[in-house]
Amino acid sequence: MRGVTSGHRAPSGRRAIGLDIGGTNIRGAVVADDGTLLAEVSERTPETSDGTTMTKILLGITQQLHAQHPEVVAVGVGAAGIVEWPAGLIRWAPNNSYRDWQVRAELEEATGLPATVDNDANVAALAEARLGRDRYSEMVFLTVGTGVGGGLVLGGVIYRGPSGRGGELGHIIVAPDGPRCGCGNRGCLEAVASGTALTRMGREAAAAEPAGVIARLGREEEDGVVTGHTVTRATELGDPTALDLFTRLGRWLGIGIASLANIFEIEAVVIGGGLVATGDLLLDPARAAYREHAYATEARPVVPVRVGTFGTDAGVVGAGLLGLEHAEDRRVHAVPPERATR
């Protein structure tokens, strides 16, 4: 456990505990309603990420934060995978072994606080749409990291579909005869425009050019293994092969963006996730490919493609915000009928 750190300012307003459950880390924070993080805890996701093991970790983090900040009014969770809405039951996740995990019920029972659970990219989209530098009521959000997650904001609210199974933007098909995705299918956006795709492309490049910069960095700096990070490092050295890989990756991202921007009438596309730290290296070719494939530009604007405001904090900020937004709904339901009319 990384330990508890304190935020730099303490605004007024309501606060919630936000929990961000990823394939690599589980992060918890006390989140103010303006998005400020007041305290933080982080832990590695265990190898055996079944529901029982995960609940123990979540409760440990939650109790630690709750003890520090007894004023919190709710818990919000963003989790990788398919989350049944509004039940807060995580059905399935591609990179975690939990299945049919009753997260909301377990958190509410243990903490006595109203809890709300959603997909991790949905909560990150919520943070960006509500509290980002620019606020949007119509937005496509893509998080480009190990995979590609998606969140849709339509008419000011997250689109989830009736039971939370909607909004899987990383699994639109952009290269039907292309590489296999982590989900098992072929040619998903995630299969060609993610950190995993960059790793695959980097390894292919290293095998094709054993004397090249990517292969050398892999041997010298990365314990002999080429990853997406190796490719990013190689671009910093100006390696043309690595720069070309980013152009290809960004082009795929832009093709996915074009499909989504042609379907939805949006104000902007916001990109989060680890890979967006490379900035225009990824986004310039993405913007170019989107413009190339944008429909009916005589009558439909090509919208900005922007880097998100919250970086890798978007998940935990959005989780807290989700908890706050739905604490009210939950409290209304919790009022006994005889008091509900007062």
Could you say whether residue 262 binds a second copy (CB under 8 A)? yes
Q: Is the dihedral of CA 214, 216, 221, 224 positive or negative?
A: positive
Closest of 192, 325, 337, 162 to residue 255, by C-alpha? 192
Could you say whether residue 104 binds a second copy (CB under 8 A)? no
Q: What one-character-per-residue DSSP string does 18-66 give?
A: EEEE-SSEEEEEEEETTS-EEEEEEEEPPSS--HHHHHHHHHHHHHHHH
In a 10 Å sphere around its CB, with 0-12 CB exposed, 13-18 middle and 19+ buried, how is residue 245 labelled?
A: buried
Could you say whether residue 180 binds a second copy (CB under 8 A)? no
Orientation of helix 213-221 relative to helix 240-263, angle to 10°: 100
Selected binder of a second copy within 50, 185, 220, 304 (CB under 8 A): 185
Could you say whether residue 171 binds a second copy (CB under 8 A)? yes
Find the shortest distance in angstroms from Cβ 187 to a second copy. Answer: 7
Selected binder of a second copy within 4, 25, 46, 159 (CB under 8 A): 159
Selected binder of a second copy within 51, 294, 307, 309 (CB under 8 A): 294
* Contact stretch for a second copy (CB under 8 A) within 53-61, 107-115, 231-239, 297-305: 297-305
Find the shortest distance in angstroms from Cβ 234 to a second copy. Answer: 26
Selected binder of a second copy within 122, 196, 259, 278 (CB under 8 A): 259
Q: Which helix (H) or strand (E) holds 254?
A: helix 240-263
Give the integer Cα–Cα distance in Å for 246 and 197: 10
* Contact stretch for a second copy (CB under 8 A) within 172-180, 234-242, 305-313, 329-337: 172-180
Could you say whether residue 296 binds a second copy (CB under 8 A)? yes
Closest of 234, 258, 254, 256 to residue 244, by C-alpha? 234
Site string for a second copy, 36-75 (x = CB under 8 A): ----------------------------------------
User: What is the gyration radius of the CA atoms in the chain, in angstroms?
Assistant: 21
Could you say whether residue 255 binds a second copy (CB under 8 A)? yes
Based on CB atoms, which residue is closest to a second copy, 210 or 301?
Answer: 301
Sequence-distant (6+) residues with CB within 8 A of 82 are 90, 91, 92, 93, 119, 164, 165
Could you say whether residue 299 binds a second copy (CB under 8 A)? yes
Contact indicator for 15, 38 with CB cutoff of 8 Å: yes
Give the integer Cα–Cα distance in Å for 261 and 270: 12
- # of chain residues touching a second copy (CB under 8 A): 48
Could you say whether residue 304 binds a second copy (CB under 8 A)? no
The binding site for a second copy (CB under 8 A) comprises 82, 91-92, 94, 138, 152, 154-155, 159-169, 171-176, 183, 185-188, 255-256, 258-259, 262-266, 289, 292-296, 298-300
